[in-house]
Amino acid sequence: MHHYLVIGLGKTGFSVACFLSKQGLDFSVVDNRDNPPCLKEFQTIFPDKTVKTGAWDIALFQKADSIIVSPGLDPAALPIPPGKALFGDIELFARFAKAPVVAITGTNGKSTVTTLLGLMLEKAGFRVGVGGNLGTPALDLLTMPEPDIYVLELSSYQLGTTASLHPRVAVVLNFSPDHQDRYHDVDDYLRDKQKIYNHCEHAVINGREPFIWESLSLKNPIDFQQTLLPVTEQEMGIVGSHNVENAKAATAMARCLRVDDTVIAKTLKTFTGLSHRCQWVADKQGIKWFNDSKGTNVGATLAAIHGLVPAVVAPGTLILIAGGVSKGQDFSPLVSIIHQYVKHVILIGEAAPMIAALLPPERYAHAFSMENAVNLARELARSGDCVLLSPACASFDQFRDYQHRGDVFMHCVRQERMLQ
């Protein structure tokens, strides 16, 4: 019998194991962590399946006919024997999915566009399965009643191990350097993003970033920057110029799927955005607080600041909380926008010294915790100012994930003693 080895027992690896089991396929699991997140649940549901944690069990790698790697693991760092078939959860999804697929990637905005497009399709009467890198793992969607269409957010890591996906509509929203702790260079990162266009029926492109797609052979690409609808930024439920870009992309994709413009417009007016993505938290004593904890790279933070200034707040009234795990990024693109728009920067986490080295001493302060950062921001802020958590970094130095980081920020902001 064909034997699969699942590498990684987090959320994605566990979903792979559950799917393989439902298909009656033979598999085992390895994880180099001593206590991976889904270990107890796996052992409860699959007591007879082999699972090895800690140091890699080379014998299991040798035994496997196919190896399924979780997106958080770099295949180049694994002891993969020569000649073994290696792929990820999206490749497995593509081999079994029957309904059409819409595929969305980009350095920033993909979760917002995925959610927004899913809502547009639902309002148009489609039965929709939404997931992938966002929310429900793609393979879990296959265990549910079959929808009319799948809408998947895909990361570069997932795309890098996928070859069989044939999207009805695909888009790369934007591109800026990220994950340079994993990729050899920026071009390698871009090449994985571009794979989303392989075999797609409709390619939706960003005309403002032609370097993403101009080297590809795309038939009749659709530029989402040319999307026109009688909906103004003021009428939209989400704020900021970056969300105008997200709305254009979702609109172009919905039109490819023949969704009526009236449905699109209604959805744009009622959708208020995602948690942890430029999410309004509070407005106390004339100070606005926004949670953009999902801003885990420099490009996301640039987009958040450009989105808020001057549409929501005036230049020079923004206090930025930033820092965390750097992921090998270059923080220098932040310097000019900080000088132009930001009143003060409060730095947290491992990357704080790296960012501080780029700024004059009077423009920043260090905080040892999120509570300390919020208190410092409250001391610095005046009526009419805005405090934005947009870290430009991953969260794993101090928090479980970006949701945990954002939740802690919102809890600190909403404590009355901090807002008196």
**Catalytically active residues, by annotation:** 110, 133, 179
Residue 79: count other Cβ atoms within 10 Å of its Cβ: 9
Cβ proximity of 7 and 85 under 8 Å: no
Report phi then psi at 67, rounded to 5. -120, 125
Pull the structure tokens for residue 217: 């052979």
Angle at 36 between CA 33 and CA 37, to 5 degrees: 155
